[in-house]
Amino acid sequence: MSKGVLVDITRCMGCKACQVACKQWNDLPSSNPAFKDGLTSPPDMDGYTYTTVQIEVIEKDNDYTMRSGKRQCMHCLHPACASACFAKALQRDPKTGAVVYYPHLCVGCRYCMLACPFDIPKYEWDKQFPLIAKCQFCFDPNGKYDRLGHGLGPACVDTCPTGALKFGERDELLKEAWQRINRDPKYIKKVMGEKEAGGTSWLYISDVPFENFSFRPNLGTRPLPEYSHDFLKWTPVIAVGWGTLLTALYHYTKRREKIAAEKDKNVHM
Amino acid sequence: MTNHFIDFKNSDVFLMIGSNSAENHPQAMKWIMKAKDKGAKLIVVDPRLTKSAGLADMHARLRPGTDIAYINGLINYIIENNLHFKDYVVNYTNASFLINPEYKFEDGVFSGLVEKDGIKSYDAKTWQYQMDGDPVKDGIREEAIKKDPTLQDPNCAFQLLKKHVSRYDLKTVSQVTGTPEEVLKKTYALFASTGKPDKAGNVIYAMGITQHTYGSQNCRALSVLQLLLGNIGIPGGGVNAQRGESNVQGSTDFAMLNHLLPGYNPMFYASKHKTLQDYMDKDVPKTSFWSNRGKFVVSMLKAWYGDKATKENEFGFNYVPKHDGKNRTHMGIFEEMSEGNIKGMIAWGQNPAVGGPSSFQGRKAMEKLDWLVAVDLFETETSAFWHRPEADPTKINTEVFFLPAAMSYEKEGTVTNSGRWLQFRYKAVDPPGEAKSDLWIADRLFKAVKKEYQSGGKYPDPIFNMVWNYDIPGEDEPNIDQVALEINGFEVGSNKALDSFGKLMDDGSTACGCWIHTGYWYVDKEANTVAAKRRMNKDKSGLGLFPQYGFAWPANRRIVYNRCSADPAGNPWNPQKPLIKWDALAGKWENADVPDFKAVEPAKEPGGQATPVTPDKTVSFLMQEEGRGRLFAVKGVNDGPLPEHYEPIESPVQNIISKQQTMPLATKFKGDFSKIADTGSDKYPYVGTTHRVIEHYQSGAITRNCPTLAEVSAHMFANISPKLARKIGVNTGDDVIVETIRGEITCKVAVSGVCVPLNVNGKEVEVIGMPWCFGYKGIATGASANDLTPSVGDPNTNIPEYKAFLCNIKKTGKH
């Protein structure tokens, strides 16, 4: 059992209250972003923006309609980012399902950005020692940004006026998602995140194709780490092993120098 | 609003027209979604694909400024197809009342149009009822009016309405609005389905309806529609104005309008009110609840001048400055300012440099001021008008004072929402720096003026005799409880708060600052606090009335005109949602809401028994002199008894409904504010319209200074259709120039299906939508859309025509 959020695109009115609540709860700075289209702003998530509401004008029935979808980390059940991270800076909390980023462990390699099938982790490009930025699911054990640990829903969900976001147990939300889909023919018969990339904590239902909200088409259902597990599992071993070898070599050469110096000393004396 | 936000959950069909709740009233959308969950349908009528339209079941695009054509078409559809709620219409509206046979409507003009000194007005003599007696001298008495309950007489209000709207057939309406006929038909059929006893249709409107030279008539058309369908006074129904700010309802209640006194009583005019008696004779109706107006006004004077208000001095009537009859609305003031007739201005929580029409000219007019006091949270475009981009500060002599104000969360007081709910809010945090509450600023301002008068001045009596007893020893803030008590009303002598405006008197024994609020500061024993501070979540009715949550004016009534929710015998039209009910066995009314009619006759002598009023003796529309809802408006609006389509002052086409191109009584202005493009102008071929965005509040004075909000909408832009974009050769993100005869702005362009060209009688009309929240101060800056808008107004309210004007758009040189 882990937590999840159900995003119902048909209920989202694009008010961005979730986006603002996220910035405020997490003390994230604001920028003067580039113009996109008068709707979505900033244009995408960035080093200081964990979530954006993507608002799209979509062609439908010879006219247009508008749909809004909040995007953020999906908190995968088998996170590719975590398996790509040899420094263990990304770890999934088994109890809540939150995929948490630990900046003090991060070496800044950006493998997680390449690994993520949802293009979520962003980089603080403007900093000398940049870190990764992404939604933490308001889970921050022993830290000041924690909500889940206190039994609260994420800041975004708590501020949503229309019920487009619902927080709860993932299993139950999945059931509810299918109930809504089966009750109303307008929905596409699919829960985004049920199986994608092996399943995610955040689940989406919609009456327009998910690709409108920058979801890649043909996201596989096999957990991504499985593809890389066979060789990436050696990463810590190699990282540690290689390091050990180099350290050993370093100490070996150092020692030789020392011994040589000692010898020289002896000679001079 | 006749109803309130939570009540939206009771609706079956919403007609959201000239309003965009998802963007501007997101909490309203919460309740609309709850209704939709139960199967309710949402129709959005808007030129643009708005966020609300995106969530709607049907979206009808119409050309800006053609709402009356759309609504009259709907009314015609209802009458033609016999879909109106007959029992309701006959019993609760003036449908059966006979109108003067001399009433005429020809060539788009009503009988009685007169012109004096180039200004047109209507003499409404021929719009009156056929009745015994003189309507002015004797009052409009319902029993004296001639009627035809069969609704067949050609002079009855119903037949006149039917004839009037018969010209608005689907084809004609489509040619005017540019809405395809099948979309008209589909939306008409859906909304007309609410003309049944157990169905509730809800009209939601906002500035897209009001900001036209016929804005009042737009509202009238919606009221006629709702009366025909029996949607007034019922749960889930109503005509529901979404006010533009969280407390704008409160500000109108307190007469922040030049023609009103608090509580919607007319202002004192120098020309016709030499004495208080003149006011009583001319402005206090003989019938309806307004016949009590004298009590409200005398109690108000008593609240203002206390012991100094006596019968002998007409309760201080001569202390009150009288209206001089000139145009004292926004546009009138700025016209006079540009002529140098206005020396000083206090812009208190207002940013006309961004929010006013023709704001480029408005900012220029401000240079004529000797002094300007700006009371605001941040430096606004108004307070900084002297160093605006286009000005040379060395040539401006205006002395500007800036008073930093506390925000609503930094002070305590009530906020009155669109649903008329007054809710007292406590201070959450202290205001920063030297910022002070508005009450503090008003208090010190008054005291400073009083001090000045002590060293001499003309007629100081109104200042010296004004009650100003708001000091608390040792405290910096004035006594807000004392202010609230004065507004609520009290018994003179005992100073005990009154529970009802029914207790107000015109003999000086009661004082009350704003009669409609009486009861809001009366202690609810169960809640153990005054009504406005209540937060009890009890809702026995299940209808979301929450009678002990805050206070709804008037009299804590949550749904006004609620007598109409039941049939003449007092049985609810919809037994599932009863607001009021006559219990015939017990011989009394059972009410979930506070009845909007006299349900009991008070006891004749103290200690006696009150007697219930039987259903046949009750009045459905208590505030109307004839006691009925007006399909045909014999009074109340000055520009016609029935809504008629006119083109906006600036229009791309000729009016095809009548020979009268524009509203004959529209207000126009001189000098810098007189520029208007020709009809069908080649130079300005596109229709411009303005709107708000959720990220910014009004002119953005607060929100463009909040980093998180500035970020989520950081740029001024214009929305155009893909077709127009191809024509002028631009893509989303390019810089464009939008120009009108009044000026031009440069901004980003957004190309999408938000705006699409409309087929208006064979002519393709492009619509350009622009947010009006930007200016040159704050974090998120951008050009002000109101630099483009015309200074022309509605004859009843003088609201400017922000929502439909002619413009051109072109690519900028730099790419």
Judge if A170 and A238 occupy the same domain.
no
Kindly list the residues from chain B whose CB atom is less than 8 angstroms away from the CB atom of residue A37. Answer: 732-733, 750, 752
- On whether both A251 and A171 belong to a single domain, the answer is no
The Cα of A65 is separated from the nearest Cα of chain B by a number of Å equal to: 5
Tens of pLDDT, residues B111-148: 999 999 999 999 999 999 999 988 888 889 999 999 99
Cα–Cα distance between B737 and B745 in angstroms, integer?
A: 6
Q: How far apart are CA B226 and CA B239, in angstroms?
A: 7
- For every residue of B83-113, DSSP letters joined together read -S-HHHHHHHBSTTBBB-TT--EETTEETTE
Is the torsion defined by CA of B512, B513, B517, B521 positive or negative?
negative
Beta bridge partners, B535, equal B549
Task: Please indicate, yes or no, whether residues A208 and A117 belong to a single structural domain of this protein.
Answer: yes
Q: How many domains does chain A have?
A: 2
Minimal Cα–Cα distance from A158 to chain B, Å? Answer: 14
Please give the pLDDT value at position A243: 65
Residue count (chain A): 269
- Sign of the CA dihedral running B367, B369, B370, B375: negative
Both structure tokens of A10: 């048909």
Query: What H or E segment, with its residue span, contains residue B582?
Result: strand B580-583
CA–CA distance from B82 to each of B79, B276, B309 (Å)? 5, 49, 57
DSSP-assigned letter for residue A198: G
Nearest chain B alpha carbon to A21 = B708
Whether residues A67 and B748 touch (CB distance < 8 A) is answered with no
Distance CA B21, CA B15 (A): 12
Select the residue of B30, B708, B714 nearest A20 (Cβ to Cβ). B708
Q: Do A57 and B753 touch (CB under 8 A)?
A: yes
What CATH number did the domain enclosing A199 receive?
3.30.70.20
Confidence band (pLDDT; 50, 70, 90) for A263? low
pLDDT over 60 at A267, yes or no: no
Closest partner residue to B54 among A19, A42, A65, by Cβ? A65
Please answer yes or no on whether A35 and B748 come within 8 Å at the CB atom: yes
* B713 to chain A: closest CA residue: A41
Q: How far apart are CA B439 and CA B398, in angstroms?
A: 26
* Residue A269 pLDDT grade (very low, low, confident, very high; cuts 50, 70, 90): very low
Q: Which residue among B26, B709, B710 places its CB closest to the CB of A13?
A: B26
**Residues of chain A found within 8 Å of residue B717, distances taken between Cβ atoms:** 35, 38
Phi, psi of A165 (to 5 degrees): -115, 130
* Pick from A11, A163, A41: nearest CA to B694: A41
CA distance B47 to chain A (A): 13
Strand, helix or coil at B307? helix
**Phi/psi at B271 (5° precision):** -70, -35
CA distance B557 to chain A (A): 26
Residues of chain A in contact with residue B758, where contact means CB-CB under 8 angstroms, are none
Residues of chain A in contact with residue B30, where contact means CB-CB under 8 angstroms, are 161-163
My answer on whether A199 and A251 are in the same domain is no
Residue B32 to residues A157, B21, B697: CA-CA distances in angstroms? Answer: 19, 9, 22
Whether residues A203 and A239 fall in one domain: no
Q: Which domain holds residue A14?
A: 1-232
Percentage of chain A beyond pLDDT 70 is 88
Work out the minimum CA distance from A12 to partner chain B, whole angstroms. Answer: 8
Is the domain of A255 the same as that of A218? no
Is the four-CA dihedral B502, B507, B510, B514 of positive or negative sign?
positive
B301 neighbors B317 (Cβ within 8 angstroms): yes
Which of B50, B694, B733 faces A16 most closely, judged by CB atoms? B694
Dump the DSSP string for B423-467: EEE---SPPSTT-B-HHHHHHHHHHHHHHHHHT--S--HHHHTS-
Same domain, A127 and A251: no
Is B391 near chain A, with CB under 8 Å?
A: no
Residues of chain A with C-beta less than 8 angstroms from the C-beta of B33: 11, 162-163
Q: Which of residues 771-800 of B touch A (CB under 8 A)?
A: 771, 779-780
Q: Please write the tens of the pLDDT for every residue from A169-179.
A: 999 999 999 99
Q: Which of B695, B714, B752 sits opposite A32 (nearest CB)?
A: B714
Q: Which tokens is B564 given? A: 């109409």
Same domain as A188, residue A129: yes
Contact yes or no for B49 and A66 at CB 8 A: yes
Give A237→chain B minimum CA distance, Å. 44
Give the percent of chain B with pLDDT over 90. 97
Helices assigned H by DSSP within chain A: 17-25, 80-84, 111-115, 155-159, 170-183, 224-232, 234-268
Whether residues A8 and A66 share a domain: the answer is yes
Give the C-alpha separation, A176 to A160, whole Å.
18
Rounded to whole angstroms, what are the CA distances from A25 to A19, A159, B811?
Answer: 10, 11, 41
Per CB-CB distance under 8 Å, the chain A contacts of B690 are none
Q: Tokens 């263990």 correspond to what residue?
A: A88
Q: How many CA atoms lie within 13 A of A67 on its CB side?
A: 21
User: Given an 8 Å threshold on Cβ–Cβ distance, is B52 in contact with A13?
Assistant: yes
- pLDDT above 60 for A264: no
pLDDT band at A259 (very low <50, low <70, confident <90, very high): low
pLDDT by residue (tens digit) across B674-722?
999 999 999 999 999 999 999 999 999 999 999 999 999 999 999 999 9
Considering only CA atoms, give the Rg of chain A: 23
Token pair for B310: 């006596």
A239 pLDDT higher than 70: no
Q: A59 to chain B: which residues are within 8 Å by CB? A: 753
Please indicate whether, in this complex, the C-beta atoms of B752 and A37 are within 8 angstroms of each other: yes
Among partner residues B22, B714, B732, which is closest to A13 by beta-carbon distance?
Answer: B22
Inter-chain contact A37–B750, Cβ cutoff 8 Å?
yes
Minimal CA separation from B813 to chain A, in Å: 19
Closest residue in A to B782 (Cα) is: A35
pLDDT in tens, B375-392: 999 999 999 999 999 999
The reported pLDDT for the residue numbered B241 is 97
> Which of A31, A63, A66 lies at the smallest CB-CB distance from B711?
A31
Round to whole Å and give the CA distance between B813 and B811. 7
Minimal CA separation from B59 to chain A, in Å: 9
Tell me the pLDDT tens digit for each residue of B280-303: 999 999 999 999 999 999 999 999
Who contacts B531 (Cβ-Cβ below 8 Å, separation ≥6)? B422, B519, B520, B521, B522, B523, B524, B550, B551, B556
Burial of B803 (0-12, 13-18, 19+ CB in 10 A): buried
CA nearest to A56 within chain B: B752
Three-state DSSP at B297 gives helix
Interface size, chain A vs chain B, as Cβ–Cβ contacts under 8 Å = 108
Read off φ and ψ for residue B751, nearest 5 degrees.
-105, 120
Q: Is B33 on the interface with A (CB under 8 A)?
A: yes
Higher pLDDT, B791 or A226: B791
Distances (CA, A) of B156 to A154, B129, B737: 61, 9, 53
pLDDT digits (tens, 9 = 90+) for B397-430: 999 999 999 999 999 999 999 999 999 999 999 9
pLDDT in tens, B20-66: 999 999 999 999 999 999 999 999 999 999 999 999 999 999 999 99
- Residue A245 confidence (pLDDT): 73
Do B748 and A32 make contact, defined as CB atoms within 8 angstroms?
A: no
pLDDT at B244 over 90: no
- pLDDT tens digit sequence for B186-214: 999 999 999 999 999 999 999 999 999 99
Contacts of B127 (CB under 8 A, 6+ apart): B99, B100, B103, B110, B111, B112, B632, B633, B634, B635, B641
Interchain CB distance below 8 Å, A161 and B752: no
Q: Which of A15, A24, A41 sits opposite B26 (nearest CB)?
A: A15
**d(Cα B476, Cα B33) in Å, to the nearest integer?**
45
Instruction: Give percent of chain B above pLDDT 70.
Output: 100
Q: How far is A145 from chain B (nearest CA, A)?
A: 18
Is there a cis peptide before residue B389, judged by omega within 30 degrees of 0? no
CA dihedral B536, B540, B541, B542 (to 10 degrees): 80
The confidence score (pLDDT) of residue A262 equals 60
Average pLDDT, integer, range A108-135? 94
**How many angstroms separate the CA of residue A251 from the nearest CA in chain B?**
53
Q: Is the dihedral of CA B32, B37, B40, B41 positive or negative?
A: positive
Comparing CB atoms, the residue among A14, A15, A57 nearest residue B754 is A57
Selection from A3, A27, A7, A50 nearest residue A163 by Cα: A7
What are the phi and psi torsion angles at B617 (to 5°)? -95, 0
Q: Which of A15, A27, A70, A166 to mutate to test the interface with B (most CBs of B within 10 A)?
A: A15
CA distance A156 to B440: 37
Judged by CB atoms closer than 8 Å, whether chains meet at A20 and B50 is answered as no
Q: Is the pLDDT of residue A268 over 70?
A: no
Cα B433 to Cα B373, B405, B410, B647: the distances in Å are 19, 10, 12, 50
B27 vs A contacts (CB less than 8 Å): 161
Of A32, A36, A162, the CB nearest to B33: A162
Please confirm whether the linkage preceding B462 is cis (ω < 30° from 0).
no
| A250 and A170 housed in the same domain | no
Asked if the C-beta of B51 comes within 8 angstroms of chain A's C-beta atoms, the answer is yes
Q: At what angle do helices B157-165 and B67-80 cross, to 10 degrees?
A: 120
Higher pLDDT, A62 or B660: B660
Q: Where are the alpha helices (DSSP H) in A40-169?
A: 80-84, 111-115, 155-159
Q: List CB contacts (< 8 A) between A33 and chain B.
A: 711, 714
B723 close contact with A: CB closer than 8 A: no
Pairing of strands B41-45, B13-17: parallel
Q: Does A248 lie in the same domain as A148?
A: no
Residue A261 has pLDDT above 70, yes or no: no
User: Quick one: pLDDT at residue B387?
Assistant: 93
Whether residue B690 contacts residue B803, with contact meaning beta carbons closer than 8 Å, is answered with yes
Q: Looking at the structure, tell me whether residues A166 and A186 fall in a common domain.
A: yes
| B779 interaction partners in chain A (CB closer than 8 Å) | 32
Give residue-wise pLDDT tens across range B612-663: 999 999 999 999 999 999 999 999 999 999 999 999 999 999 999 999 999 9
- In chain A, which residue's Cα lies nearest the Cα of B704? A32
